[in-house]
A = this chain, B = another copy of it.
Amino acid sequence: MDNLAFESGHDHQHCIDQALQQARQLCRERQQRLTPIRELVLKLIWQSHRPIGAYELLPALAEAGFNSAPPTVYRALEFLQEQGLVHRIASLNAFVGCPHPNQAHQGCFLICRQCHSTSELDAGPVHATLEQSARAVGFAIEHETVEVTGLCPNCQAGEGGDA
């Protein structure tokens, strides 16, 4: 588990299934209601191989027979974010599933500008660095947005090869 999105050979269906399983369990433990809409939105986000926008989710919601007005999806997204099940990528106005929602944490994302694969890294090292810089000026960190764009290994290979 915890594969990086751009690692080839990763069984994405397995990721999805596992993420949903874990979400159900977490919500059970926390006595939170993972309603059909919320679960569907989470599934759709995981099914996307890249961060997905709120409005891109609406058609699938409609197909599944739900109301598909914006508030529906935003409310589901809000819940999922509160539970740490998805992260919002501010630089893309889009959402990704969180691979380890059990522990509270901030994300640190590597986003490929070409294939849009997005991987969440351990934010620990960056956090430590930020914490040190912030302390030096007396700033108390509460939240960190760390979003890195560039080229994933696969797309680097492609760039030089076939242009």
**Chain A residues proximal to chain B, CB less than 8 Å:** 4, 6, 90-91, 108, 110, 112-113, 119, 121-122, 125-126, 128-130, 132-134, 137-153, 156
A112 to B141 Cα, complex, angstroms: 9
Binding site secondary structure of chain A? mixed
Question: CA A137 – CA B53 in complex, angstroms?
Answer: 26
Distance between A83 CB and nearest chain B CB, rounded to angstroms = 20
Q: Is the CB of A146 within 8 A of B145?
A: yes
Q: Which of A91, A108, A121, A148 has the most CB of B within 10 A?
A: A148
Residues of B contacting A90 with CB < 8 Å?
A: 90-91, 145, 147
In the complex, the 8 A-B pairs of residues with the closest C-beta atoms, listed nearest first = A138-B153, A142-B150, A145-B147, A90-B90, A90-B91, A141-B150, A129-B129, A140-B151
Q: A121-B133, A141-B149 are in contact. List 8 more A-B contacts (CB 8 A).
A: A91-B145, A108-B130, A113-B142, A125-B132, A134-B148, A137-B153, A141-B148, A143-B150
Knowing A125-B132, A146-B146, A149-B143, the reply to whether A137 touches B4 (Cβ < 8 A) is yes
What separation, in Å, do the CA atoms of A104 and B153 have in the docked complex?
A: 25
Contact residues in B for A142 (Cβ distance below 8 Å): 113, 149-151
Chain B residue at minimum C-beta to C-beta distance from A92: B90
How far is it, in angstroms, between the C-alpha of A24 and the C-alpha of B91 when the chains are bound? 29
